[in-house]
């Protein structure tokens, strides 16, 4: 199981999902709800949750994509009972709370942190900043191999 906002899908996301898939037989991807993103990051995502979910569902590497549940972001884990939970290299997760949730629900999921893929270029915050701050002549010019 993998989690994410997946706003402005890029090569770093694909790396994360491919690595997550390689850890098991099936990959379930949980796309964060708009309201949860707002609460966690202080801003709504650029793409709405339905659009982000559609993009993730279209990826061959993904066996099933679902929206997260409102409020408690760990509840979806109890619903699907994954063997492995793959976290992105920079994903902010309360690891202690996650392990407690797994213990309380008697779930045996292994938590794995996935390595970074070109974090100096393939990171949502960097790509968004370049796109939305009018930096047309930045290092992220059209035609580069970002995606």
User: Residue 45: how many CB atoms within 10 A of its CB?
Assistant: 21
Q: Give the separation between CA 42 and CA 35, rounded to whole angstroms.
A: 10
DSSP string across 125-140: HHHHHHHHTT-TTSTT
Q: Is-contact 29 54, C-beta < 8 A?
A: no
Prediction pTM value: 0.80
Please write the tens of the pLDDT for every residue from 12-25.
899 999 999 999 99
Contacts 24+ apart (CB under 8 A), 49-56: 52/5, 52/6, 52/7, 52/9, 55/6, 55/9, 56/6, 56/9, 56/29, 56/31
Please write the tens of the pLDDT for every residue from 56-100.
999 999 999 999 998 788 999 999 999 999 999 888 888 899 999
The domain limits of the chain are 2-118
Averaged pLDDT for residues 2-20: 92
Give the SS3 label for residue 122: coil
Q: Is-contact 77 107, C-beta < 8 A?
A: yes
The predicted pLDDT at position 129 comes to 57
Return the CATH fold of 2-118: Rossmann fold (3.40.50)
Averaged pLDDT for residues 38-62: 92
Q: Say yes or no to pLDDT of 11 above 90.
A: no
Give ∠ CA 54-30-59 in degrees, rounded to 5: 40
The predicted pLDDT at position 92 comes to 82
Q: Say yes or no to pLDDT of 31 above 90.
A: yes
């Amino acid at each position: 199981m993998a989690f994410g906002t997946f706003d402005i899908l890029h090569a770093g996301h694909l790396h994360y999902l491919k690595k997550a898939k390689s850890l098991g037989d099936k990959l379930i991807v949980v796309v964060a709800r708009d309201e949860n993103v707002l609460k966690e990051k202080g801003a709504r995502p650029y793409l709405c949750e339905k659009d982000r979910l559609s993009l993730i569902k279209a990826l061959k590497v993904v066996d099933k994509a679902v929206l997260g549940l409102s409020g408690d972001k760990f509840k979806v884990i109890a619903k699907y009972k994954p063997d492995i939970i793959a976290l992105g290299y920079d994903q902010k997760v309360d690891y202690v709370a996650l392990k407690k949730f797994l213990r309380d629900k008697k779930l045996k999921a292994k938590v794995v942190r996935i390595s970074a893929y070109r974090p100096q270029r393939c990171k949502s915050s960097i790509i968004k900043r370049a796109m939305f701050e009018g930096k047309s002549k930045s290092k992220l010019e059209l035609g580069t191999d970002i995606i």
